[in-house]
Amino acid sequence: MKAYHHGDLRRALLDAAVDALGEAGPAALSLRDLARRAGVSHAAPAHHFGDKAGLLTAVAIDGYRALALALAEARVRTGSYREMGVAYVGFAVGHRAHFEVMFRPDLHRPDDPELRLAATKAGNALAAGARDLPDGPGPAAGLAGWSTAHGFATLWLSGALPRSLGPDPIAAARTVLGAPAL
Amino acid sequence: MKAYHHGDLRRALLDAAVDALGEAGPAALSLRDLARRAGVSHAAPAHHFGDKAGLLTAVAIDGYRALALALAEARVRTGSYREMGVAYVGFAVGHRAHFEVMFRPDLHRPDDPELRLAATKAGNALAAGARDLPDGPGPAAGLAGWSTAHGFATLWLSGALPRSLGPDPIAAARTVLGAPAL
DNA sequence: TGGGCATCTTGTCAATGTCAAGTTAAGGTG
DNA sequence: CACCTTAACTTGACATTGACAAGATGCCCA
């Protein structure tokens, strides 16, 4: 056994947090439960993250980095802003735990520098795709696309969308994101 | 003093909940704090709502009813689905506490019958507006509009949108919702 | 080899959600 | 008007949690 010095307790706690968030949502997350899952004492998480908000800030940072990668990948793969929106939905559904923490400022530290940087980079990845749009419309079109993808993702996750869309969020997103504007 | 029998403790607790949610978000909501605000004992809320999820379910029900009213009002006033989207954003910003609970199934009881009914009615109000759209596109257009309005509202509330949109969410929403589709 | 320091533990405290049991008053029935 | 059923609220308790303080452990480097 390793007793003291876990090896990479920080990573283990983050992984446990993602698991726990996926099982019961952010409201039910407990630092002590994460410690139990990682096999350490109840106060160990505080050493690495300070407090609960610190841990969730780290989760959000991981999330923004993964989102930026997913968006950039979709852009080089398809060259389509709409498909970047589909990828955005795919990230939200596939990394629900991260996604739910990222856009909830009351759960983390919104002004953490590292968080701000990661969020900005993800925003830049999106904005780069928006510039590929068939030119003409102003910068509002990029925000409209972001809003649509983000709204579809959160509505899907909250279970508010009608079942007629079918079970596959990616296919449903491709349908809805292709619909004409308001 | 009224000692026992508050008069309308249920309503007082719901009002206190909306205040508290507006001040610190759902994560910091405490039933005991609500009881203190209403001047009753710490276990009084449980009698009216069962538990925390029950109270938040009641908040969500109030929210869906108010949203349905706001959407119907916007429809008769403007006849425009786009302006219903603007009203949707206005509701989210003006009733942030309700809005944040409504779309968070882990905070309330998603299968509560009264909740389902209220949510369905609000959905019908939106769907009615979608039928006014310049025909041609399928039913996906209604969902796209909903997604855009919902996404803009949640992004605005989370502070993720760029400051270049200005301080007025209604004006910003009118700009973004009018942008062309993806 | 030995000291410094990050890492983790143990112990504790106030606060919270929830349950059980008791207390008070309001409203209907005789 | 007396009675009593029942809803509304209180009191008390318990396990759990986040956070803090102080101590224990072992790795790394001088």
Q: Residue B14 to residues A140, B34, B99: CA-CA distances in angstroms? A: 38, 9, 14
Residue A145 touches partner B, C-beta closer than 8 Å: yes
Boundary (domain end) residue, out of A50, A73, A88: A50
pLDDT string in tens for chain B (182-residue length): 344 566 789 999 999 999 999 999 999 999 999 999 999 999 999 999 999 999 999 999 999 999 999 999 999 999 999 999 999 999 999 999 999 999 999 999 999 999 999 999 999 999 999 998 876 567 899 999 999 999 999 999 999 999 999 999 999 999 999 887 66
Q: Identify the CA nearest to A27 among candidates B34, B28, B23.
A: B28
Tell me what the mean pLDDT of segment A83-112 comes to.
98
If asked whether residues A16 and A44 sit together in one domain, one would say yes
If asked whether residues A147 and A127 sit together in one domain, one would say yes
Residue B140 touches partner A, C-beta closer than 8 Å: yes
Q: What is the pLDDT of residues A65-79, one digit of tens each?
A: 999 999 999 999 999
Range of the domain at B140: 51-177
Q: What is the pLDDT of residue A134?
A: 76
Q: How many domains does chain A have?
A: 2
Non-local CB neighbours of A124 within 8 Å, separated by 6+ positions: A68
Structural domain contains residue A123: yes
Of A140, A148, A179, the CB nearest to B151: A148
Structural domain contains residue B182: no
Query: Distance (Å) from CA B116 to C1' D6?
Result: 30
If asked whether residues A127 and A173 sit together in one domain, one would say yes
If asked whether residues B118 and B169 sit together in one domain, one would say yes
Which run of H or of E encompasses B80? Answer: none
